Structure 1
Amino acid sequence: MPGFGADLLTNYHLPVPGVKGQSRFFEAEKVLSTDAQGHFISPPGFACYGFYHSHPLNFAEIKGYFTDWSKEDAVTALSFFSPGDIAFTIQDNFFTSVHYLSGLNGSLIKYVSSGSKEESEYYPKLTNLTDPNTPYPVKKMQDYILKVASIGQLTVLQTSEIWGGKVGKVDQSFRIYSSQAQLDVSEKVLKIPAYSQVYSSLNAVLRYMRQRVLSISEHQYGLILKHKTKNEFVITEPVVGKDFMSPMDHIFEKHSADAFAYYMDPDFSILGIYYGCATYYDPSQVPADGQRIFKSFIPPEPMAGALSMARMARSNPQAPALPIFIATRDGALVQYTSLLSAEEGKYLALAAGSQALQMARDVLAGHVSPAEYIRGLARAGELTVLYGSDLWGPPGPLNGQWKAYRKFQRRTHSPLFKSADDAARYAHKKMKRRHAAVSGGLI
């Protein structure tokens, strides 16, 4: 399976769509044009910020070719720059010094060429790889990674077990992972989740999560984790487009058949669950009335899955259920905290003689309006608006009398003007005596 590659253009950082390669190496010439001297040419109006590419999943091929490599060396090589990748970045650092690698296990790393003397001296060892008289420059992946980190800037942007669950600059303390460690590695797809960067507060990680999920059009979910002894917070990368049947299985690898036997970073615990609403819905899955409200909250089926997950993932049976953070498409962020009440049971109940959720049927059929569905949750548990919107209203707790758009004020329009300047003069006249607060609007 070939890898993919492309480049990033600056002038509002724009990723060029990836190109599927036909070889085992990233061929930048398939992404960018070159001049008569073979130098790359940036598209008009843009400057190339960096290249990015991926590697094929060829574990067996690597093990067969490098017979003296350990399993750890071969797995790590799949998610690290090859000598040819580093040589290419050094050789063309006058054009761009940045190169990204999308790893097979969710990791994303970056190498920035330094142009240093040490880098220039190492470059010859990375070239002439087809010469049978030239030894391959990598004997041990750990030594190779430490060397690359010493001659340029090597950074982990999204982590995995290979990088010890850490993000940031790779330094000389790096050690290759051990397959005997708690986070074991599959020889095929590695299902250890990628994490966000570390944030120092819950508010900060929620802001990042909200921005992250709004960049994806499908519904998605993930976990918010907190360090057990420090104020450090991360989220798992979103699981996109999957249902809530065994949601933890889509995030973590299991190490046994027990109900909650997952490989997790021992330094972190689960603080909460997040859900991002979809942009588009199948019309057959949207009720006839209250469609805007329905699309601005988590539907009944994923809500039932999130509630079950919030109960199951508690630190102990006496602990409170985990909060659920819901990022809506109208910009709001709503938190639901289960009180394990009897009234909440109707949000988990199945229809008689069926595996279908009764609440989902009732909402779709119009027996329960989307607004009443939300009000019922406000009565069953604690529903709080963290980021407000026109539909949800300002931040604060909600109760069983909630109504959409309750505090929405419709914007009034001025008379029509022939020019924008005249409209601005009108607004200026309206505002000139309002000095107690900032005023503003839209022309």
Structure 2
Amino acid sequence: MEYGSVILLRPDGKFVATSPIPGEATTFDLSTIIDFDALGELEPPKGYRFAANIHSHAALHDVVGEAYPELDEMNLRLFINFFSSSDFMGDVDGRAYFRSSYLSGPDGTLLKYSPSGSKAELDYYRWHEAGARPGREPWTRDVMSIINKLASVGELKVLVSSADWGHSVGVVPPDWQPGQGFSTGRVTELPLMTRICSTVERAVLAALKSRGAQDSGLLLKKTAGNEYVATHARPFGLASWDPAKNFAAGDDGQLRLPEGYRLEGFYYASRPDPSRLTPAQPWLYENFFTPQDIALAISCHKRSQQLAVAGRPLSLYMQASDASMLKYSFSGSEIEAALSVEHSDGSITDAGVQSRLLTGALSPREFVSMLILAGRLEVLRGSALWARLGRVGLEWIPFANFPWPPLSQAFLSADDAVRYAHEQVGIRRDRQYAGYVFQRSDTRFVVTEPLEGDIDVLDQGRLYPRDNRGRPVFPDDHVVHARYVSHVALTQLEPVNISSRQWTLQEALLSLQMLSVEEVRQVLLDNTVLYCSAAMNSLVRFAPYATPASKDLARRLGTRVHPGPLALGLDKGSKRPQDFIREQAAAGWLFNLTDNELWGHRGQILPGWSMSESAGSTSAEPTSPHTCTPYAVPASAVAAPVSFVVFAPAIFSSAFAMEAA
């Protein structure tokens, strides 16, 4: 389906376009959106004048290709993306009202035809009117001959180009051939620009969101008010920021910007190479100016200062990957000048700053401070990372609005750090708590203070802010060593679950002091250490082995959506809690960190483990289980000390075992 619109000239000299409306499959009738006066003449809205019209062509490649099998791929695209005979005739008929006609092609091109009123154009019109009889020139049906004909009888321009047009823009010569470039490299008219915007950030967004937009361009400001426009976004590079490559020069050699406008600065969308992120703070590097971008911008600033509004510094506007928008205002300071080095061969480098970032010799946060000292840095549109709008100072902190979890004091071992978190949870067993165990760059260990959450909260990284890909952002110089969770008290268990599974009192207690199905699943998936503060006097550590037994356990547990046979058996009660503990002990290193009535003395829990007869009751594992509700627990059992068990993978070698021992 084709769409059409009319471009009008307002009384204040600005241009506007009507909203495009649909027409027919292969035609658009302008009379459907234009009024007629009493004499049958086209009549614009009151106070407006007609300037031009625009319509689109539909992507009928298959249909046209079948109708014209002689057309190769390029000529087929040119045919579909070019003015039809009826388009040409309508343009000539409407010459008294519309100085030009635009065609938006389905492959992204934008063409402009301005009728000349010449005899040659009229002859060509009459030939079409007579039925386009075959014969010698100018009577032709060939695709290229039609293009060449319009280029000779009127003015044909390419405004948005493609490979078929040789990536050239400007006036098409009458002898042009497909795929050949025809631009002379000399700018002769104004570039394509966005609508007039009330703020500079809106102009940047308008440029980057327009159809066919690339990455960068120039920004202009009206000298007598707050009106901004941006040039159509071009591929990132020096040419897109060079005013001489975008605006024509007058007879005096001075660049001719739109009347009443001066240069505001440069803009671009930052898209750092994901394969070349910094080792430290990659989440900041990918959402900030790169040193090479700054180096190019500083060089362009030096060449363009004379085009700026008097007394107003030029600025660089950057839309980051997280949708924030930052502004750097040039100062001309010595620090700023040192960030851009121009060489005799015309190349521009960043004085080695980029290399220092990639090797870790310089952190992205330190580079932020460099720009703060070099010029003026501002946040125009915020994000989670750039949370505070306005000027950025040396005291800036990332994710300023996020409640970062407080960290504990430092400990010599991970076990000691987790024991501290275990003690902080203490008797708070009405809900679950979770946190991380970090090893700092000085090899000391710290934990996050216990926060409400479970294994899912840790898996989803909800305790910390997240980067562009949803990964948690941890404190600098802190590496995740392990995670920890706590379990609720026996009184928090649902009686119906205990009854349906026919658990004994011992098994009900055991179900809370062992790792849950969800926890073991996640440990096996992430291949990481998990500590479990199962009760006030129960602390265990679990780390999976890299063995077939570990993989088999993961298979038999399945997923939450598709649980495996072992998970189903545990849920139904056909598999008992003690069975699951033995499975864990066979698939990983299960270690009890505290002396406990249920687990026994501190040490590794082996695959042959069994409950003590005195654990929770006087009877051992009965052959005929009886039910027990959480509200029928003997006082001695409730007051019994709780253990803390750890499960850790074999990849942590014997050194881990020595530490635990």
Distance across 2 between alignment mates of 1:413 and 1:143: 77
Alignment pair present for 1:128 and 2:122: no
Q: Rg bigger for which structure?
A: 2
The DSSP-based 3-state class of the residue aligned with 1:269 is strand
Structure 2 letter corresponding to 1:325: Y
Q: Which amino acid aligns with 1:342?
A: E
Q: Which residue does the alignment assign to 1:276? A: 269
1:213 aligns with 2:216: no
CA root-mean-square deviation: 5.5
The 1-side partners of 2:284 and 2:293 are apart by: 16
The answer as to 2:65 corresponding to 1:30 is: no
Of 305, 310, 315, the residue aligned with 2:306 is 315
CA contact (8 A) 2:197 2:203 kept: no
- Aligned equivalents of 1:321 and 1:104: distance in 2? 39
Q: Is the contact between residue 252 and residue 262 of structure 1 (CA under 8 Å) also seen in structure 2?
A: no
Structure 1 residues 328 and 235, CA gap change in structure 2 (3 angstroms) = same
Q: Which amino acid aligns with 1:401?
A: E
- The CA deviation at 1:252 is 2.0
Query: TM-score if structure 1 supplies the norm length?
Result: 0.51
Say whether the 8 Å CA contact 2:278–2:358 is kept in structure 1: yes
Superposed CA deviations along residues 240-277 of structure 1, whole A, max 9, x for unmatched, are: 2x433784178426759x9x865644553211211211
CA shift in 2, pair 1:415/1:54, >3 Å = same
- Structure 1 residue runs of 5 or longer lacking an equivalent are 1-5, 14-25, 39-52, 57-78, 90-97, 112-121, 146-155, 161-175, 177-185, 417-443
Give 2:374's aligned residue. Answer: 380
Q: Which runs of 5+ in 2 are unaligned?
A: 4-20, 22-56, 68-75, 92-100, 115-124, 141-145, 162-170, 172-180, 406-450, 456-661
Shift of 1:371: 1.3
Q: Measure the CA separation in 1 of the matches of 2:202 and 2:328.
A: 17
Identical positions, percent: 19
Q: For residue 441 of structure 1, what is the aligned residue in structure 2?
A: none
Tell me which residue corresponds to 2:364. Answer: 370
CA contact (8 A) 2:356 2:362 kept: yes
Q: Distance in 2 between matches of 1:229 and 1:130?
A: 57
1:135 CA displacement: 7.4
> Residues 238-387 of structure 1: matches in 2 within 5 Å?
238-240=233-235, 242-244=236-238, 247-248=241-242, 251-252=245-246, 262=255, 264-278=257-271, 281=273, 283=275, 285-315=276-306, 319-349=311-341, 356-358=349-351, 359-387=353-381
- CA offset at residue 326 of structure 1? 1.0
Work out the CA distance in 2 between the residues paired with 1:281 and 1:209.
22
Larger RCO, structure (CA 8 Å, separation 6 or more): 1
1:379 partner amino acid: L
Q: Deviations over 1:398-438 (max 9, x none)?
A: 1012222122248999999xxxxxxxxxxxxxxxxxxxxxx
Provide the aligned length of Structure 1 versus Structure 2: 297
Asked if the contact 1:110/1:157 (under 8 Å) is kept, the reply is no
Partner residue in 1 for 2:195: 198
Q: Distance in 2 between matches of 1:395 and 1:201?
A: 18
Q: Is the 8 A contact 2:379 2:390 kept in 1?
A: yes
Q: Is 1:396 aligned to residue 390 of structure 2?
A: yes
Q: 1:100 aligns with which of 100, 103, 106?
A: 103
Question: Separation in 2 of the partners of 1:374 and 1:246?
Answer: 25
1:94-136 CA-partner distances (Å, limit 9, x unpaired) = xxxx99335999855699xxxxxxxxxx999457334349977
Asked if the contact 2:372–2:393 (Cα under 8 Å) also holds between the matched residues in 1, the reply is: yes
1:281-332: CA deviation from partner (whole Å, max 9, x where unpaired): 152x322111111110121011111122223212379855301111111011
Distance 1:293 1:263, change over 3 A: same
* Structure 1 residues 253 and 227, CA gap change in structure 2 (3 angstroms): closer
Change (3 A) 1:404 1:87: same
Distance 1:414 1:277, change over 3 A: same
After TM superposition, give the deviation of residue 366 of structure 1 in Å: 1.7
> Could you say what secondary structure the match of 1:237 adopts?
coil
Q: Deviations over 1:8-43 (max 9, x none)?
A: 9xxxx9xxxxxxxxxxxx9965344899xx9xxxxx
Matched-pair contact (CA < 8 Å) for 2:247–2:255: yes
